[in-house]
Structure 1
């Protein structure tokens, strides 16, 4: 009972007083099961151990997790360990009935990782990486060691069957093979997940496609995300694109293909575009806003955008209609930006005669 209560406390990410957080970390180390992890690693799961790397032989917090993924910000993660002092390990066993080749995708930022399989180092480095590994039939010991060196933590290791990534032309041709072809698309774009396990849920509207032909879903991100999709009707295919390797969809039925695009769209913001006149330049943030989304999606998929959801980070997304109201707002915004740019140009690049005659 004590173990479960302590796990609840650190998993809740509550803002405890630093002294109390230290007490929780210490008690979790006393009552935890870290000794059993090394002796009997879980099968098709991982025993995770989190600790402050600045405390030699210090206490560890342990838990059993289905996947290797962790993310938290400056407020601290398990046991309120500060990100810049955070280190972790994951130990588990993978079992296969027959020889198989798996793709291993590593996503990390300012940190370093070492991966051992059956005692051999298969990767060690500071960069995100995608590679394959051949497993024989039977059980295999997997060990992952992680040291963070940044003010936030974002780390993910994915084991999956090798997948093909599609260029723009290959993706367009592959979508033409769908029967019937989808002529509508829902776009979801995030920079990153804001959940500790890098997961994001997408809730599609119950209404099916207007034409009855079917819909596509495009899932776009910078960081690697574990997507789950619920609702919707007439979904023909899901397209996944991310800069960091390791994004995937966890819960789709086998008859809905998941296609991986080589290039993402990069729209991670809503309608608001903020511009300002700075020095000798006119600058706008959110350059990759939804303004050109409809044209881009039509060019890359042959489908028109009917809904979209975009944000810097989120744990769940409910796409909103991309209708005439949105399109009119985008047109007005485009005109306002053009007028502001014209005013800026006249202010930062005045005429000689006009300027000096008045001074």
Structure 2
């Protein structure tokens, strides 16, 4: 009996051991927690019986910024906001932070952003969600009724504009059953079997904050609840009440009569004038083949601009010389200038509503400046943008209009030139940069190696810096060069276009700079002589992630690794530069980095190689768990 008691204590200690999930963002996170029922075999009155030691439990909780959720390791937890999604199951924790990995999760929730359908059309919806709805639509009353997904349908009018949406099915279930027919249930919609994200549910709450226009046992109605929405109708399941929790086991107990929610119908205002204005400003969104042509730049340029945003936003015609006057707007109310400033370059980088409370999906910017050239200059205009649309106008001529990353050669004649840039964003983050600089030559690895052999010291060493993007509004990353006795070659790599600002307080001898990026428009400035060669590398160099994490999925069906082991980057850079790497600094979203912050010596290389060996052993172990071959399945003992 004592042994049994001791075993039970050990078992419960293991069963209820905890780990931490931390909200390291500046937004609230919604967490869905579920624990399965647990059972033990116990001897009771001489009979071996199965006894429940933990009840099944499911609940939601809100995790504040910097707050920690303690999770028992037998639980399944999903925490998410518009910046991060963390899923934890048993001993596996997966965190998604970059836009590409969050993409589908965000879309699943945002199809229930009721405001997002105001003044929209079929082309935009198909481009945004990639529905491929050719076989999911039926003609209906001079329009089309189409199934989107996740319990949401759309009714388009004959012009293809969104007239109504319908929410139904699994979207109207709580964690433990049907949603009640109550006004508050509007904010409890589920997206892909998850409670609707706070960043969407809070918007929906504002729409129906007023008292319903009509309410009965099986209908709740709001008339004109907000601008752009004509009505919202909630109807009950089967048009009558149902017994909540009914079963033969509780037939003699108290039961509750409950109206369940069957469907929600939202009808939109079809305002022709508002629709025309919005369609002119709004860019096509990210996604599939539906919007490829809309994101491509116009090929009939340059043409004269009929009007520019300056006629509305810069009515005093204040245009600075050799810098830009910037005007920032919310595209839902484009004539109101929310903020204005003078800037040396065109860039904007922020998440959510962190800039003057402008929601990133509604951000618009206009930059204008007069630039003087002493002689004819052949320049390169680089546009780096995410899911957005940009128009560039020089001397009243449109030289670019589109939603792609582009490099445009442009010759400025001697004299003054007026440059205007108009930008509208359509994504969860604003990541935008336009650079105008001398046309750069692109080098291959072999060409760079040859240049380094001719123009750098034999004893110089490489220092590598890797970042996905900048965390600063102006897209800059400051590099503080640490003291080093030997000359160095800086190798810089990023995904986004950034401005690398070099600070060299120790006067370390920098003999060359090499940079690469997925997007064009990278700039290098700061404490660096004009005589130092700067090479733009043809291909991406290295990674911002220097740690490789792997997991065996589905019993060996998949061996998946994220990130990169630093030894891969070190070997690649040492190979094409012909120089030893002294150290590196890496970060996903960087503002300031000490360079280097990791020293690469023989001890460090040994550690990195040992990590690779461990990963290979993990891979082999994972493969050994996979399903056997058909002809060898009976060979196992």
**The TM-score by the shorter chain falls in which range?**
0.7 to 0.9
The aligned residue for residue 571 of structure 2 is 295
Say if 1:95 and 1:139, in contact at 8 Å, map to a contact too: yes
Say if 2:320 and 2:370, in contact at 8 Å, map to a contact too: yes
* In the alignment, structure 1 residue 246 sits paired with structure 2 residue 521: yes
* In the alignment, structure 1 residue 159 sits paired with structure 2 residue 436: yes
* In the alignment, structure 1 residue 65 sits paired with structure 2 residue 343: yes
* In the alignment, structure 1 residue 352 sits paired with structure 2 residue 628: no
The aligned residue for residue 370 of structure 2 is 93
The aligned residue for residue 138 of structure 1 is 415
The aligned residue for residue 600 of structure 2 is 322
Q: CA deviation at 1:38?
A: 5.2
Say if 1:182 and 1:236, in contact at 8 Å, map to a contact too: no
CA distance in 2 between partners of 1:38 and 1:299 (Å): 57
SS, match of residue 80 in structure 1: coil
Residue number among 504, 524, 534 corresponding to 1:258 in the alignment: 534
SS, match of residue 634 in structure 2: helix
The aligned residue for residue 189 of structure 1 is 466
Kindly tell me: are residues 180 and 273 of structure 1, through their superposed partners in 2, closer, same or farther at Cα, counting changes over 3 Å? closer
Which structure 1 residue ranges, 5 or more long, are not aligned?
1-12, 19-33
Kindly tell me: are residues 58 and 230 of structure 1, through their superposed partners in 2, closer, same or farther at Cα, counting changes over 3 Å? closer
Q: CA deviation at 1:354?
A: 5.7
Say if 1:240 and 1:248, in contact at 8 Å, map to a contact too: no
Q: CA deviation at 1:227?
A: 0.5
- Give per-residue Cα distances to partners, 1:294-343, cap 9 Å, x unaligned: 21112211111111011211101112211223212202211211111111
Higher alpha-carbon deviation: 56-65 or 292-301: 56-65
The aligned residue for residue 508 of structure 2 is 233
- TM-score when normalising by structure 1: 0.84
1:70-89 maps to which residues of 2 (within 5 A)?
A: 70-74=348-352, 76-89=353-366
CA distance in 2 between partners of 1:334 and 1:255 (Å): 40
CA distance in 1 between partners of 2:332 and 2:456 (Å): 58
Kindly tell me: are residues 348 and 238 of structure 1, through their superposed partners in 2, closer, same or farther at Cα, counting changes over 3 Å? same
Say if 1:100 and 1:135, in contact at 8 Å, map to a contact too: yes
* In the alignment, structure 1 residue 221 sits paired with structure 2 residue 502: no
* In the alignment, structure 1 residue 55 sits paired with structure 2 residue 351: no
CA distance in 2 between partners of 1:239 and 1:38 (Å): 44
Cα RMSD after superposing both structures: 2.1
The aligned residue for residue 103 of structure 1 is 380
CA distance in 2 between partners of 1:37 and 1:324 (Å): 64
CA distance in 1 between partners of 2:488 and 2:465 (Å): 13
- Give per-residue Cα distances to partners, 1:259-297, cap 9 Å, x unaligned: 111112131113x321111131111100x3312122111
CA distance in 2 between partners of 1:204 and 1:57 (Å): 45
Q: CA deviation at 1:144?
A: 0.1
Residue number among 22, 42, 65 corresponding to 2:320 in the alignment: 42
- Give per-residue Cα distances to partners, 1:193-236, cap 9 Å, x unaligned: 11100000111221222xxxx32100101100100112252211
CA distance in 1 between partners of 2:382 and 2:624 (Å): 50
- TM-score when normalising by structure 2: 0.48
CA distance in 1 between partners of 2:320 and 2:624 (Å): 67
CA distance in 2 between partners of 1:164 and 1:182 (Å): 27
Larger radius of gyration between Structure 1 and Structure 2: 2
The aligned residue for residue 389 of structure 2 is 112
Q: CA deviation at 1:105?
A: 0.7
SS, match of residue 454 in structure 2: coil
* In the alignment, structure 1 residue 313 sits paired with structure 2 residue 589: yes
CA distance in 2 between partners of 1:147 and 1:36 (Å): 17
Kindly tell me: are residues 182 and 80 of structure 1, through their superposed partners in 2, closer, same or farther at Cα, counting changes over 3 Å? farther
CA distance in 2 between partners of 1:307 and 1:172 (Å): 19
Kindly tell me: are residues 179 and 274 of structure 1, through their superposed partners in 2, closer, same or farther at Cα, counting changes over 3 Å? closer
Q: CA deviation at 1:35?
A: 6.7
Kindly tell me: are residues 56 and 207 of structure 1, through their superposed partners in 2, closer, same or farther at Cα, counting changes over 3 Å? closer
Q: CA deviation at 1:60?
A: 2.6
